[in-house]
Amino acid sequence: MDTLTIVKIGGNVIDKPAALQSFLKGFAALESPKILVHGGGTLATELLEKTGVPVRMYEGRRITDAGTLKICTMVYAGWINKTIVAQLQQAGCNAIGLSGADADTVPATKRPPAPVDFGFAGDVVAGRINVPVLSLLLGNGLCPVFCAITHDTQGGLLNTNADTMASAIAAALSETYRTKLLFCFEKGGVLADPDDGNSVIPEIDTAYFQQLKAQKIISKGMLPKLDNAFAALRAGVAEVHIKHADHLLSANAGTRIRVEM
């Protein structure tokens, strides 16, 4: 079984051109086959403000009305995705930018409007990811680069969480490949002390995760990331790591997530 690496790169890195370029050079140097999933950054929020579309959030999550979906699709599938693809091409990586609508790679379901109506928000089901098309692209030396826009297969686009998308894609491809999922962002890993960048926890298993949650050591933003990490492992992903974008190529950097140590 070939090893497939799925890398998620977070929005904070995308907002910094030099950090992004350095990360992409590292990604290009990673052994193939590989897939990149990217987040959104702040450009969508800036453009929503400039064009007068109100930014609406609920408990830190964006509510996607029609105007917001249009801006998010423009920014994520347009500017960010194509900028990343062009830079990877320059670095010798044969990137192909995709949304979940393209080749029906990632169909999704519009989130039910109750208890909270998140609008055009899509939930991905790992079992419906188009494994044959992704295997075709990967098998022919192409590197899929996903933005977190999906479709409902009825003509509608949906805004999706990039961590969940990366986790679901990795899980779906675990039938065909030994999968390695790397969540890269602007911190060294999961931190024992959020104010100390050097307090990276090297390994977290299910029991330790419960303990860290109970002690409130793991902060709000990190909770869904860890939920996605464990979901991926339970769905057959071989390895999951959370690490700094600059340490992509260092095998031992960051936090390794395991079901059991």
- Cis before residue 33, ω within 30 degrees of 0? yes
Q: What single-letter amino acid sits at 49? A: E
Q: 156 vs 194, which CB is nearer to a second copy?
A: 156
Separation between Cα atoms, residue 39 and residue 29, nearest integer Å = 21
Q: 133 vs 217, which CB is nearer to a second copy?
A: 133
Which residues have a Cβ under 8 Å from the Cβ of 237 and sit 6 or more positions away? 167, 170, 171, 174, 179, 180, 181
To a second copy, the closest distance from the beta carbon of 188 in angstroms equals: 28
Taking each helix axis from N to C end, the angle separating 206-214 and 222-234, rounded to the nearest 10 degrees, works out to: 160
Q: Which of residues 81-120 bind a second copy (CB under 8 A)?
A: 81-83, 85-87, 89-90, 94-99, 101-104
Per CB under 8 A, the list member of 2, 17, 42, 51 interacting with a second copy is 51
Q: What single-letter amino acid sits at 129? A: I
To a second copy, the closest distance from the beta carbon of 153 in angstroms equals: 6
Q: Which of residues 125-184 bind a second copy (CB under 8 A)?
A: 133, 136, 140, 142, 149, 151, 153-157
Separation between Cα atoms, residue 40 and residue 60, nearest integer Å = 14
Q: 52 vs 115, which CB is nearer to a second copy?
A: 52
Interface residue list for a second copy (CB under 8 A): 47, 50-52, 70, 73-79, 81-83, 85-87, 89-90, 94-99, 101-104, 133, 136, 140, 142, 149, 151, 153-157
